[in-house]
Amino acid sequence: MAKLDVFDIKKAKVGEIELDDAVFNDDVREYLIHEAVKIQLANRRQGTVAVKNRALVAGSGKKPFKQKGTGQARQGCRRAPQYPGGGVAFGPQPKDYNLSMNKKARKAALRSALSMLYKKDAITVVNSLELPSIKTKAFVEVLTAFNLDKTLVITDTATPTLELSARNVKHVKVLGPEGLNIFDIMKYQSVVFTEAAVRRVEGALQS
């Protein structure tokens, strides 16, 4: 069974934690990770872009001049795309970009991503992330002690003290276990878990 050391916020070792191999030491299936990231990014798209075609722009539908005898190309109306202020031909219209992934595959993708981080030694476990006060400097000192930079923090209790202390730190994001997602796992170089958060993630990602 996979194991990790457990530290306090000053990086003093306070114990060990056994990790569920099915969650943190599973086979890394890169195709599932790619699919899950693609779906998550696609579902963020609003798809609300729109332009007016010749049927929607204001203006007369009257023929600008007679069909024959002028020496000019025949024209239907001033709302046509070739005229200034005319409608746009084949412009973008509202579209639904949402994709779906079944629950079993989504969990497998998260397990693969966490397993990849574990095998890269990019997971840190702390017993608690309780800070005495709201102070960005105190949170930065915790990151410095562990030599962490681009970090995703998963805590079982996201207290206002922790969230406000971390809010202005660049390249750091604080989430609860229920907010764990494939894009953020892949975006950040390392993940910090509290002990309780590890257990909640394991419970949620059981196959």
Both structure tokens of 39: 């779906």
Answer whether 185's CB lies under 8 Å from 110's CB: yes
Tens of pLDDT along 96-112?
A: 999 999 999 999 999 99
CA 53 → CA 46, 90, 92, 169, 174, distances in Å?
21, 8, 10, 46, 45
Q: List the domains of the chain with CATH numbers.
A: 1-44+96-204 (3.40.1370.10), 46-95 (no CATH)
pTM: 0.83
Question: Which of 26, 11, 178 is CA-nearest to residue 113?
Answer: 26
φ, ψ of residue 54 to 5 degrees: the values are -65, -20
Query: What are the start-end ranges of the E strands in 28-122?
Result: none
Cβ atoms within 10 A of the Cβ of 108, count?
20
d(CA 118, CA 24): 6
Tens of pLDDT along 15-66?
A: 999 999 999 999 999 999 999 999 999 999 999 999 999 999 999 889 999 9
* pLDDT attached to residue 110: 96
Tens of pLDDT along 65-86?
A: 999 999 999 999 999 999 999 9
